[in-house]
Amino acid sequence: MDRKEAPEYAMPIPQSETHFHLKLTDPGHIIQWIASPEGNFLFLTQAWSVLTGQDMVDGLGLGWLGSLHPDDAAAIKPEFSIASAAGRALRCHCRVRRRDGTDASMLIEAQSMPTGFIGLFLPLSPCEQSEFETSLADHHLTDLLEHTRLAAVALDIDGRVRFANRPLLELLGRRGEEVIERNFFDAFTPSGQSSPRWPPPAESEHLHDWGFDPEFEMAILDRGGARRLLLWHAIVLPTSSGHPRSLVLVGDDITAKRQAEERFLLTHKVFETTEMAMIITDARVRIIAANSSFSRLTGYGTDEAIGQNPSILQSDRHDRPFYRRMWDAIRTTGHWHGEIWDRRKDGTVYPKFLSISTIRDEDGKITNYCGIFYDISERKTIEDKLDHMAHYDALTDLPNRTLLHERLDQAVTVAARSGTKVALLYLDLDHFKAVNDTVGHDVGDLLLQEVARRLRDCVRGFDTVARLGGDEFVVLLVDVQQIDGVNVVAAKLLNAIAAPFQLAGREFHVSTSIGISLYPDDHFKLDVLLKNADQAMYRAKAGGRAGFRYFGEIEADPGA
């Protein structure tokens, strides 16, 4: 049966007809079942016995949980009651013990019915397992964005909305089904205003190939056509190959702030009731007024602030040139705005968005400065998490292909200026597939995590260890003075991986083959250096594995 036909089971089937329907459509390799709201199995197809060796009768009730990995059984059982109470579908991953003692990776998909659930156990191939992990990572992303007061939206490569959180829907005055699948920029932003460069140019191969401003102001339109201005932070999530796959926008509604800036509503009511901190200084930059939000945010009482210079709030995060540029802009244009780190009275340092405007009298003489600011700690936390997801491998927490390209670009630039070399070591584990095939992907993942830890221990703190995917890793060595140093690191890597792995109560042995390319000896383009190292790695495998080869050796002697 084609996996795409699975929605056929999304429609509830009357209890009297269900068993007959399942038997007619049973494809043999997909396990189909019916369960009560509590997860008690009432029916199983013959495929269950074929896979587990367990009699179908023994699998009924809660007996089926005995064939699951203990960790999965404990986690999945409560999901039935939760999904039943919410009247929603059930979708989760589990490991089922085969009759030969190995684990099969399965996807549970079930549709809620008034009498319980009707569902499937779907076997996952390694490729599908990777897709499921990507889906799970996206679930973690949506869960993060769903629990923030900030507006957030995730767009696919064509700009269509794949996710919109509640704060954004409230700003738009729309329901989720009115937003999902529509082009965000065409449907919900005013025409004629600038928007981020999305989708990226078709000829771009990597994120660093095309210009992209991660922070910008852009208005949205609610159902009635009213504009809301937001300050957006954009994060591009890449595929494993480094190509853009999704754009996540997190926005802070600054409509009220912008109106306050433009009108300078310095009446007592606005000054005291706004949630944003506000101060007014005289022409010599001494504070003459501060609202209650200022006291709440900074910890300084109004009486303590009056007569002081706002520099009492400065942290040590910014140097003198930063403040010099700020005041140059204020004197030249009359205003400045941006992110800045300041210090509260209790000594804690926090990020805020600050806007400073100049107030002049009728003759154009400066009489006051007005500062408006608010805490952006929550937004910065989300930005940091999104940035980490975009640049690090989810399994090993090593830099991914995107971050590797950025660091390699920086390393080559520094090497060209200093006259040093850069070494790129491309590693591929030998016989790793046999581990996966023998004990399953869960143990294979543990091995990859341990490999990542050992590789990190072999290099300096300013070198980079990255995972490209699967069992392929790259080590980037910077500031290389002598090739002998590269040989030493390559030998350390080989020895580290050759040591036995103690995982899940068993001992495993693997090795690695390493290909090495050098800048500037082998090439000056980043992609070519990576390709050359890959080619040298394959030559190392052909030469008996568990060794390393330089690309330069292949060039000098193609038969080597």
Q: Bigger pLDDT: 17 or 497?
A: 497
Query: If we measure between CA atoms, which residue out of 128, 87, 84 comes closest to residue 104?
Result: 128
Residue 411: pLDDT band with limits 50, 70, 90:
very high
DSSP line for 426-437? EEEEETHHHHHH
Bridge partners (DSSP) listed for residue 432: none
Contact 288, 279 (CB under 8 A): no
- What is the per-residue pLDDT for 30? 76
For residue 387 the two structure tokens come to 């940035």
Residue 208: pLDDT band with limits 50, 70, 90:
very low
Nearest 5°: phi and psi at 32? -115, 150
pLDDT tens track for 296-330: 999 999 899 999 999 999 998 899 999 999 999 99
3-state secondary structure at position 171: helix
Domain boundaries, the chain: 3-124, 133-253, 258-379, 392-556
Least confident of 41-45, 147-151, 266-270, 422-426: 266-270
For residues 233-241, average pLDDT: 75
Least confident of 131-135, 436-440, 487-491: 131-135
Please, what's the b/e burial string for 403-418 (b: 16 or more CB within 10 A of its CB; e: otherwise)? bbbbbbeebbeebeee
Alpha-carbon torsion, ordered 454, 457, 461, 467, to 10 deg = -10
For residues 505-524, average pLDDT: 92
- What is the per-residue pLDDT for 4? 36
The listed range with the strongest mean pLDDT (192-196, 208-212, 238-242, 406-410) is 406-410
Listed in sequence order, the residues at least 6 apart from 214 whose beta carbon sits closer than 8 Å to its beta carbon are: 233, 234, 235
Residue 14: pLDDT band with limits 50, 70, 90:
very low
pLDDT tens track for 431-447: 888 888 888 888 999 99
Does the CA dihedral 551-203-473-123 come out positive or negative? negative
pLDDT surpasses 80 at 151: yes
- What is the per-residue pLDDT for 263? 61
Q: Bigger pLDDT: 95 or 286?
A: 286
Top-tier CATH class for 133-253: alpha beta
Q: How far apart are CA 287 and CA 310, in angstroms?
A: 7
pLDDT surpasses 60 at 135: no
For residues 238-254, average pLDDT: 80
Residue 207: pLDDT band with limits 50, 70, 90:
very low
For the structural domain made of 258-379, what CATH number should be given?
3.30.450.20
For the structural domain made of 3-124, what CATH number should be given?
3.30.450.20
pLDDT tens track for 78-128: 888 888 888 877 877 788 888 787 888 788 888 888 888 888 887 766 554
End-to-end CA distance of the chain: 49
For residues 123-143, average pLDDT: 56
Residue whose tokens read 């109106």: 259
Give the number of other Cβ atoms within 10 Å of residue 81's Cβ. Answer: 12
Q: What is the fold of 392-556?
A: Alpha-Beta Plaits (3.30.70)
- What is the per-residue pLDDT for 138? 57
- What is the per-residue pLDDT for 558? 60
* The domains spanning 3-124 and 258-379 adopt the same CATH topology: yes
